[in-house]
Amino acid sequence: MKKTALLLGFLVGLGAFQTNAQNKTKSATAKKTVAPEIVKPNPVIFTIGDESVLQDEFLRQLNKNRKEKTSPTEAEIREYLDLYVNFKLKVKEAMTMQLDTNPAFRSELAGYRKQLATPYLNDKKVTESLMQEAYERMKAEINASHILINVAPNASPKDTLAAYNKIVDIRKRAIKGELFDSLASKYSEDPSAKTNYGKLGWFTVFQMVYPFENVAYKTNKGEISQPFRTQFGYHIMKVNDNRTARGEVKIQHIMVRTGYGSTQETLNNAKERIDAAYKEILAGAPYDSIVEIYSQDDGSKGNKGIMNWMPSLSGYPDAFKDVCFALKKDEVSKPFMTDYGWHIVKYVDFRPLGDYKEVQDLIKNKVTRDSRSEGSKTAVIERVKRENNYKEYTANINSFTSKLDTSFLNGNWVYDEIKMGASPLFTIGNVTYTGKDFGTFLSSNQEPHGKENAAMIARNQFTSWANDKCLAYEESILETKYPEFNNIMTEYHDGILLFDLTDRKVWSKALSDTAGLDAFYADRKGNYMWKERVNYQVYNCLDAKTKEAAMKMFNSGKKEADIFKKLNKKGSSALVAKDYKAEKTDATAAKLWDKKGVVDIVELDANKFYNVLGVIPAEPKTLKEAKGLATSDYQEYLMTEWVKELRAKYPVVVNNPALMDLTK
């Protein structure tokens, strides 16, 4: 969004462009519940050719730049009028040039619109509720096991019932006392269950699919849940344990590596090394030095053994984390072993879960990317359907889905209008979607489904497709439904146009038009002046001996070339010189201003001396020296001339009485 923020701030004088679309949506919705407002006059403030700018638009833009809540003064209004007229003139020119038909422009504007529309297509209350729920769950960690019986989302009722009955029977056996681990190993269709006995270890919010997480946080320790379904199939879950979230810990690490499959000799040597390190720590040796001598953890050794913050549920071995999180302030652990080797850890710092305000942005980002965001989406879809008289033609939908054959399950189905029909399937607002629309969608979005139920698959896909079309309908009418969204989009539309045109007419032109810049500079050399400057040479010497010899030769009248030849023998750089010209505001120049000839100022640099050549009178800078300022001035000149051309091309008429009414 950087480009648009820049162009709106610079070109329109809007300053920092900010909006909270969600609040505005809420406000717009709230307005529907109150009595209609009295329509106020909205006179024309000014016209450009055949186009008018109304009072509401002008006042809205003016107030974006004002901190005061009082009525604007005439001076403020006149100043902003000039800015806004210039802005609208440039937009008018861009539209005359049909820059809005450029594919790149349309693509960029569509991208911004997609971003701006997002808050309007989510339910703020639902999202906030999900965020609060997630935060409360972040305070706890769950250890659970599960048993899974696979069933596809689009499975037939028969297959779905078979899977459900199977998981119910397994649960009955677990309730009667059979070991959950054994049942998981024997019956679970989660491939990992054969080795982990269904144990999932510790997890917290956002680490499991949302339906699974819901059950985990609602099941008591030691209990076995009722069967529940996720996208993978039917599950039962046993909560083995739960605990308060452990936050994050930072430790200082010493490791002696062994690795998997190490020989006994390697293990013995590692044990001797870690014991030696621990013995020195107990004797009072600085921990940092022990890290340097003994640690083989390449990741932390360069940082004195200090590791990054370690979350409780990070990927480190549980045995390692348990020791780290058990440390008290400044405590050092005894040596302990993991599959990676032997370790000693020292407490450095700890931080608990932050309060809601500290983590809400992180939570919001995760909620909107997580399957739980469907709750917010569903709420919006229900509202959109209700507000826009959504209607399904159930008989037509059932007729369509019943005609799908095995080619649909094989993923090579082709829509046939004669066979499938093109009857209406649903309407939303003033738009009707037919069997042909749905058939085209299915043809373009199919994949093999095996032995699943074709009608069930298509019915589920219809629901998803229809919901997406409802959201698309809502998105298509945002400009007419929400005036503030329309205003924002207008600003983006005009701003992008203006950015591209101004770049062409002013910014890039000033950089590429070298002849124009040369002529502009030549006419204004007096604007780019050096003040009086002292001209001096700096001699950098290898050491004090070189400096003493060089100054002695200079003071005896020897030529510079001879001095360099003698001191820089065999291509060395014992003596290096550089010329400078500097105004009196420069610290070095100020000390040399009234000097002449060879000067030694030790406090500036002990290995340097100076040769002051004299003071140069004020003179114009070269174009190269003034390039930055001259280019900026040239851009301003081009802008001014361009505006003059536009004002001559498009007559501007100001309605002064309406303009002055804004001061009241």
pLDDT score recorded for residue 39: 62
Domains of the chain: 1-33+49-96+483-527+633-664 (no CATH), 140-244 (3.10.50.40), 248-351 (3.10.50.40), 388-476 (no CATH), 529-620 (3.10.50)
Do 251 and 346 touch, CB atoms closer than 8 A? yes
The residues facing 535 across adjacent strands are 581, 614
Q: How does DSSP assign 99-127, residue by residue?
A: GGG-HHHHHHHHHHHHHHHGGGGS-HHHH
Label residue 32 exposed, middle or buried (CB < 10 Å: 0-12, 13-18, 19+): exposed
- Cα–Cα distance, 229 to 66 (Å, whole number): 56
CA distances 274 to 254, 290, 291, Å, are 8, 10, 11
User: Which two three-digit tokens encode residue 273?
Assistant: 């090394």
Residues contacting 238, CB < 8 A, separation 6+:
144, 145, 146, 174, 180, 222, 223, 224, 225
Radius of gyration of the chain from Cα atoms? Answer: 38
pLDDT score recorded for residue 38: 60
SS3 279: helix
With residue 337 as reference, give the H or E element that holds it. strand 336-338
**Torsion on CA atoms 377, 380, 382, 385, rounded to nearest 10:** -120
pLDDT score recorded for residue 71: 82
What parts of the chain have a pLDDT lower than 50?
1-2, 4-8, 10-34
pLDDT score recorded for residue 207: 93
User: Which two three-digit tokens encode residue 304?
Assistant: 């004195």
pLDDT score recorded for residue 36: 56
391-392 sheet: strands from edge to edge:
391-392, 424-428, 431-434
The position carrying tokens 């309060």 is 355
The residues facing 144 across adjacent strands are 201, 239
Residues contacting 585, CB < 8 A, separation 6+:
none
pTM score, two decimals?
A: 0.63
The sign of the torsion formed by the CA atoms of 199, 201, 202, 207 equals negative
Q: Do β-strands 228-230 and 341-351 pair in parallel, antiparallel, or remain unpaired?
A: unpaired
- Cα–Cα distance, 477 to 384 (Å, whole number): 11
pLDDT score recorded for residue 420: 93
Q: What is the pLDDT of residues 598-640, one digit of tens each?
A: 999 888 788 899 999 999 999 999 999 999 999 999 999 999 9
With residue 357 as reference, give the H or E element that holds it. helix 356-369
